[in-house]
Amino acid sequence: MRIVLASASPRRREFLEKLGLRFEVVAPQVDETRLPYESPTAYVERLAREKAAAGARPGAVAIGADTTVVIGEEILGKPRDNDDAARMLRLLSGTWHVVITAVAVGTEVRSVQTRVKFASLTEAQISWLARSGDGDDKAGAYAIQGLAGAFVERIEGSFSNVVGLPLTETLELLAEASAELPWA
């Protein structure tokens, strides 16, 4: 069965390419507004399902995914601007947070949580990271595989989950959906 990646994320595309998967990419148009009283996990699972549904094509299985960063009770989405990015980085500085990614293949969905601890950041480091653009369009205003990775002290769980696509769970779901895998 063919694979469709229903995501505009270059990181998700790169992961699948490195695995040797053949797929087409579609950029789904999904309203990412969080519903009232929706938990962070329910939120990303709903969006992953909606993205997979938007990418559905005859004779293919679609992958949809969504990632969020949670600190305390606050969901940190994508920053609106540099000031918002700096605000998020101040919250993350010197603390643990959770990255939740849900991946849906067809109608099946799995969510993965990874704990991440940032070093204490100075105002100069926060300003530099926010202005760099490296965390633009990324949940929590940072990319672990980018500049902010230099300030990650610890990670408990899946690295690929923090980047935006938990690979183990994605491959399990693709196998269950009878997708074409490179080793089959």
The secondary structure element, H or E, covering residue 70 is: strand 60-71
**Residue 121 token pair:** 């950041």
Which residues lie below 8 Å from residue 145, measured CB to CB, with a gap of 6+?
A: 11, 163
Instruction: Give yes or no for a contact between 116 and 162, defined as CB atoms under 8 angstroms apart.
Output: yes
- φ/ψ (deg, to 5) at 30: -130, 135
CA distance 163 to 168: 13
Burial label for 184, CB within 10 Å (0-12, 13-18, 19+), is exposed
- φ/ψ (deg, to 5) at 93: -55, 125
Catalytic residue list contains 84: no
Which residues lie below 8 Å from residue 108, measured CB to CB, with a gap of 6+?
A: 173, 176, 177
Of residues 31, 66, 84, 137, which has the active-site annotation? 66
CA distance 76 to 61: 30
Q: Active-site residue numbers?
A: 66
